[in-house]
Chains A and B, each alone.
Chain A
Amino acid sequence: MNNKLIILFVIIPLAASFFTLICKISRIRNSALAKTAAALSFAAGFLLLILFSDVISAGNIYSNVIGSWSIITGISQKLDRLAWTGLALMNIVSSLSLLYTFSENKYNSDFYFFFLLLHAGMAGMLLADDLFNLFVCLEITGISTYVLIAYTKKEKSIFASFKYLMLSSLGISLFLIGIFIVYRQTGSLFFDDMKRVFSSDNTHTLETAFAVAALIAGIGVRTAFIPYTWLPDAHAFAPHPVSAVLSGVLIKVSFFAVWKLIIVLAIFEAGIFLLWMGAAIALIGVLRALSQTDFKVLLAWHSVSQMGFIFAGFGAGTSLSVTGALFHAISHGLFKSLLFLSVSLVIIRTGERSLDRISGMAKKMPLAALLFVIGALSITGVPPFTGFVSKNMILSGLKYYPAAYWILIASSVGTVASFTKLSLVFRGKLSSAASAAFTGGKRFSAGYTGMGILALLCLLAGIFGKHLASALNFYVTATSGPETASPWNTSEYIKTALIIISGIFCYFFIMSRPGKYLQKTARKFQLSFDSQLVLLLAGFLALLAFLYFK
């Protein structure tokens, strides 16, 4: 394939989004044209992925400077294995969520405009090979996300969108300062030039530490690796398919960008910081999730927690844990979008979103219940689903850091407990509020197809976990020798069983009277927006101090 063609990954969704904008401007009421454009754009995305599949099979790397400008001034893009994986994850999860929007059928052309623009931006972020380009694509994804979150115009979603906007704009200002220092030191924003300068000169002056901390914190806002930020509100109150895309794809894309930056800036010692930060947010996320009653807020807190797992595995830096982090990023993309979509179906059918009012929906919606169970089994790490393999890879990779290991085990126990709690939506007696509010509604076949494929992928990724893991191992070591401890041995099964049993005990505790009181107290504790801003800056300063004194 021609090097120049990689820009099509960005151009096609961008062109489709402009087409939908024209539909909007010319006041075409029917959104069928916009839907077709969106579907075609994703189909083209899959076609491109297949055409460029030698990236994955043979390890070819395509790079291109758009318009044949010199490397210093041009926009440069690179398609390597990491970018290919990200694009594949993005296309799979987003196209299946798109099927869900078709079934939900309440969105106009302008929704598809922002949806496609978001994907153009994410593809650009994955392909970006210079900081300028990365900055522009970050902003494109940012702005389209703010609008998509606020799309339903409900009070909470508008406020969530506003908070996200302010926090990530502050993050972007930090990111720009980082770009400034990097450019002054290296004279180039091109990743390869930066890599050369930073890996040869590894002395950490205050200036370099500042640049690195600013760049990582700037993107880190988007991955929510600083706890208690915007993520739970934004993901919970966005339109349902958007929640799936935000949790399933957007935070992974930002994580890949952090990954790329860490390699480019040659700051592998930042890994320890990410490890402890990851372990901390894995636990905090789970603890917060346990106390929630709103389905989607609970799931959103789990996104925070699972990102903690990913960062901990990535930060530990062993070949096994980094592969596990990449694997977990992919499997989290699959199962979390499945969970969001299946639970949202209950919200669509009943208009209720609180566990206090809804239970026993399995009688009314057996198929949704089944899909939810597959997602829940994946996230809790039950074999043979995908979470089992990836979570165990991260845990086995953490054996040099026993404290972090036990924190993650505790988070896994919490995950089991809170999903046992969330399964009350479907299990138990049908609550009177649920049966009163339940409306049959229209057919949902496209949405079910999308969720079914996601569930199937969760299962397949688990069954073929070994092959997938050794394929992903390429990224990390760039040698073919897979150093993969197999999770399919007796001790791992026993460990998983113990985690599940203690999770169920934990569930019974939180549903008892003192547990409920604790939940209520925990729910009351919410950080104000101002303290979230302070936390972002504190996270940045902590990273700066860590890098400087290291």
Chain B
Amino acid sequence: MINLTLIAALFVTGVSGLILSRNLIKKVIALGIINTAVIILFIYTGSLSGVLAPIITAGEINIVDPLPQALMLTAIVVGLCITALALALIYRLFRLYGTLDIREIEKKARQT
């Protein structure tokens, strides 16, 4: 239970960072934290399902369920792409607006 609470705390940390921080890069970091919380949730709960590696040998029973791991592998790759793309967009935004503060950018975007 304590583990799940910690994961939930991590998730909430990420969400509040995403909403409260004004710096775009910090927002991306917060998104990474949210993503990590979800990944840990899957891997941790999936690890409770067995103890042996899910490499198929006939008759093996006590294996870890491979599906959450496969899903999370995908999620990690996707998360990486998203982070890279977000940082590229932020770089462009910084070049155009000269600031990383979301409120400044919104103010300037409204004027044009």
Pair from one complex: yes
Which A-chain residue is minimally distant from B92 (CB atoms)? Answer: A158
B86 x A165 contact (CB < 8 A): yes
- Number of B residues, CB within 8 Å of A: 38
Whether B71 sits at the interface, judged by CB under 8 Å, is yes
Contact with B along A45-89 (1 / 0, CB 8 A): 000000000000000000000000000110000000000000000
How far apart sit A162 and B20, CA to CA, in the bound complex (Å)?
17
B89 x A530 contact (CB < 8 A): no
Whether B52 sits at the interface, judged by CB under 8 Å, is no
A73 x B67 contact (CB < 8 A): yes
How far apart sit A533 and B17, CA to CA, in the bound complex (Å)?
11
How far apart sit A4 and B86, CA to CA, in the bound complex (Å)?
37
A528 x B78 contact (CB < 8 A): no
**Chain B hits for A533, CB < 8 A:** 18-19
SS of A interface (majority): helix
**Chain A hits for B31, CB < 8 A:** 166, 169-170
**Chain A hits for B20, CB < 8 A:** 530
Binds B, one of A20-28, A131-139, A398-406, A481-489: A131-139
**Contact among A184, A526, A528 for B45, CB-based, below 8 A:** A184
Which A-chain residue is minimally distant from B79 (CB atoms)? Answer: A169
- Whether A158 touches B35, Cβ cut-off 8 Å, given contacts A139-B78, A183-B67, is no
Which B-chain residue is minimally distant from A156 (CB atoms)? Answer: B109
Summed over the interface, the residue pairs from A and B with CB atoms below 8 Å come to a total of 93
Which of A115-154 touch B at CB < 8 Å? 132, 135-136, 139, 143, 146-147, 150, 153
Which B-chain residue is minimally distant from A184 (CB atoms)? Answer: B45
A534 x B41 contact (CB < 8 A): no
Contact with A along B17-34 (1 / 0, CB 8 A): 011100010010001001
Whether A159 sits at the interface, judged by CB under 8 Å, is yes
16 contacts between A and B (CB under 8 A): A73-B67, A73-B70, A143-B81, A143-B85, A153-B92, A155-B96, A155-B112, A165-B82, A165-B89, A170-B15, A170-B18, A179-B71, A180-B45, A529-B106, A530-B19, A534-B19
Ranked 3 nearest A-B pairs via Cβ: A162-B89, A139-B78, A176-B38
- Give the interface of B toward A (CB within 8 A): 15, 18-20, 24, 27, 31, 34-35, 38, 41-42, 45, 66-68, 70-71, 74-75, 78, 81-82, 85-86, 89-90, 92-93, 96-97, 102-103, 105-106, 109-110, 112
- Give the interface of A toward B (CB within 8 A): 72-73, 132, 135-136, 139, 143, 146-147, 150, 153, 155-156, 158-159, 161-162, 165-166, 169-170, 172-173, 176-177, 179-180, 183-184, 189, 526, 528-530, 533-534, 537
